């Protein structure tokens, strides 16, 4: 399935673009500083506010249509529901691991192996409630697969695939193995290349359409800030 408008520019930090939309669902390319849904700790405008009546489904009035989310500070693709039955179907597909979510990440350091799997439960950190942690409070299963696609002098460019979708999962897992994401000050990542957020982008999204069964596949290129940071990392590598 092709995006709705391939000529749309990338979203700004607090913006988004609709990559695909029909009567059942929409695929969104989210800007990095846009919060997905309302929360007690945040008073600004959210993706749910901006999409308004285009979203539907689910029991939570504050997050209609939301079946998964991206952290504030993480850009890229996510799918939302536009009606109740599709919302339930998408949630079930995510639970059954039929939705493919692949991220591009820049992690600190060089990895010993080209591929790997991190299987470590994630829950709320005990002393810093804004953080999650391996084996934290009320931990739940969390599985992350990664592949090093480019090894630089100080960093590694990764393709990361989620098997589960816990809050901050990729960020927590990368810190846990000693390779925090560049720019991720919450999880002790080095701040380099002018980044003001973690180098993490939801680059590819795939799933069978809940109504037609057609295999949907979408990609979103790196936004300008991450592309610039990666170029700087590559230049530093060549010095």
Per DSSP, 32 falls in state T
Which member of 71, 108, 184, 225 is catalytic? Answer: 71
Residue 155: what pLDDT?
A: 97
Residue 3: what pLDDT?
A: 40
Residue 7: what pLDDT?
A: 43
d(CA 210, CA 205): 15
Strand partners, 150: 157
Residue 237: what pLDDT?
A: 77
d(CA 14, CA 42): 14
Residue 128: what pLDDT?
A: 73
Buried/exposed code over 85-114 (b: 16+ C-beta within 10 A; e: otherwise): ebbebbbebbeeeebebbbbbbbbbebeee
- Mean pLDDT across the stretch 206-217? 96
- Mean pLDDT across the stretch 185-199? 96
Band of pLDDT at residue 5, cut at 50, 70 and 90: very low
Residue 57 reports pLDDT greater than 90: yes
Check: CB of residue 64 under 8 Å from CB of residue 48: yes
* This prediction's pTM: 0.92
Does the domain made of 16-238 have the CATH classification 1.10.3720.10? no
Band of pLDDT at residue 184, cut at 50, 70 and 90: very high
Q: What's phi and psi for 155, nearest 5 deg?
A: -135, 170
Domain ranges of the chain: 16-238
Band of pLDDT at residue 28, cut at 50, 70 and 90: very high
Q: Is 71 a catalytic residue?
A: yes
- Mean pLDDT across the stretch 190-206? 97
- Mean pLDDT across the stretch 65-71? 93
């Amino acid at each position: 399935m092709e995006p709705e408008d391939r000529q749309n520019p990338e979203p700004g930090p607090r913006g988004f673009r609709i990559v695909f939309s029909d009567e059942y669902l929409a695929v969104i390319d989210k800007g990095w500083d846009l919060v997905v849904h309302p929360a007690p700790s945040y008073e600004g405008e959210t993706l749910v506010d901006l999409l308004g009546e285009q979203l539907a489904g689910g029991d939570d009035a504050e997050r209609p249509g939301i079946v998964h989310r991206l952290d504030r500070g993480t850009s890229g693709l996510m799918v939302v529901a536009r009606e109740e039955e599709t919302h339930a179907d998408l949630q079930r597909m995510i639970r059954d691991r039929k939705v493919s979510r692949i991220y591009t990440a820049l992690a600190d350091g060089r990895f010993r192996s080209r591929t790997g799997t991190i299987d470590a439960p994630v829950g709320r950190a005990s002393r810093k409630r804004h953080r999650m942690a391996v084996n934290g409070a009320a931990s739940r299963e969390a599985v992350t697969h990664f592949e090093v696609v480019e090894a630089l002098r100080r960093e590694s460019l990764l393709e990361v695939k989620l098997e589960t979708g816990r809050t901050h999962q990729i960020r927590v897992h990368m810190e846990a193995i000693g390779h925090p994401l560049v720019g991720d000050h919450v999880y002790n990542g080095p701040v380099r290349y002018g980044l003001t957020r973690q180098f993490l982008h939801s680059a590819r999204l795939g799933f069978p359409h809940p109504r037609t069964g057609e295999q949907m596949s979408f990609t979103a290129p790196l936004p300008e800030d991450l592309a610039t940071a990666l170029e700087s990392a590559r230049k530093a590598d060549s010095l």
